[in-house]
Amino acid sequence: MLTNQPVRGVLRVQTPLGPRYFRLSFLQRLYIRWIFRHFLTLPVKVLSPWQLRFIDGLCDSRHSVSWLEPDVPVLGTLEQRPPAHGAHASPAKAESVSPLAADQNRP
């Protein structure tokens, strides 16, 4: 069964600046094949919290390239990058910042 699996492959993540491709280790390729076993493209909201942490770790790593070599298969495409760690801030924290302080942080 594993003989039909690609030996090489990358994960494609769509970003506002264009697609990013992530080189994967053998075990990471196996896990990505499991995540994308029924689909070639997935939205972020269907991933479990553990899968989100895994993909976020890949996105934070330095193993990404902005172009794809000709013969490298794409194992799966994520429609957007998972939200950053700070994106889950509670609304109470956002309201606790005074409007003047919030305006000073704007460019």
The residue ranges of DSSP E strands in 2-46, in sequence order, are: 10-15, 18-23, 41-42
Q: How many residues does the chain have?
A: 107
Residue 51: per-residue pLDDT? 92
| Token digits of residue 88 | 């889950």
Going by the DSSP 8-state scheme, the letter that residue 76 receives in this structure is E
The domain in which residue 84 lies consists of: 2-104
What does pLDDT average to in each consecutive run of 10 residues of the chain (107 residues)? 63 87 90 92 92 87 74 88 55 45 51
The radius of gyration computed from the CA coordinates of the chain, to the nearest angstrom, equals 17
Q: Which residues contact 21 (CB under 8 A, 6 or more apart)?
A: 10, 11, 12, 13, 64, 65, 66, 67, 68, 72, 74
The number of distinct structural domains making up the chain is 1
